[in-house]
């Protein structure tokens, strides 16, 4: 069942920091994909009501399975990439196919 597991990570940054935060996150995702065959990543953003912050959503799936070890590597690399711009906590949610 873990072959189609989806990992969702969302966090906030200042709107002014968004370009740098996205560039760092994209680089981390690219590095992870290079190291993990079959890993698929996505990156989304949403403006918050005030416009002062943006919510960033990272998604991860892996054709060969998103087990505990890979999930830990993904979360560590992504957390490091966003740490400089993070406002608040990173939220992680994991969904398995029904």
pLDDT averaged per 10 residues in sequence order, the chain, 98 residues? 79 97 97 94 93 96 90 96 96 92
8 A C-beta contact, residue 6 and residue 42: no
Q: Where are the beta strands (DSSP E) in the chain?
A: 6-14, 39-47, 53-62, 87-95
Residue written as tokens 């416009």?
A: 51
Helix, strand or coil, per DSSP, at residue 31: helix
State the pLDDT at residue 24.
97
Q: What is the pTM of this model?
A: 0.90
Neighbours of 15 (CB within 10 A): 15
Fill in the DSSP letter of residue 84. T
CA distances from 18 to 22, 41, 73 (A): 6, 18, 24
State the pLDDT at residue 71.
94
State the pLDDT at residue 49.
84
State the pLDDT at residue 2.
45
């Amino acid at each position: 069942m873990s072959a189609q597991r989806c990992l969702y990570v969302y966090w906030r940054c200042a709107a002014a920091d968004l370009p740098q935060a996205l560039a760092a996150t994209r680089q981390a995702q690219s590095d992870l994909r290079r190291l993990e065959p079959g890993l698929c990543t996505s990156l989304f953003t949403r403006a918050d009501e005030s416009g002062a912050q943006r919510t960033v959503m990272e998604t991860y799936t892996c054709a060969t399975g998103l087990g505990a070890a890979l999930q830990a590597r993904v979360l560590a690399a992504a957390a490091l990439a966003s740490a400089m711009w993070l406002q608040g906590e990173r939220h992680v949610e994991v969904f398995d196919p029904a």
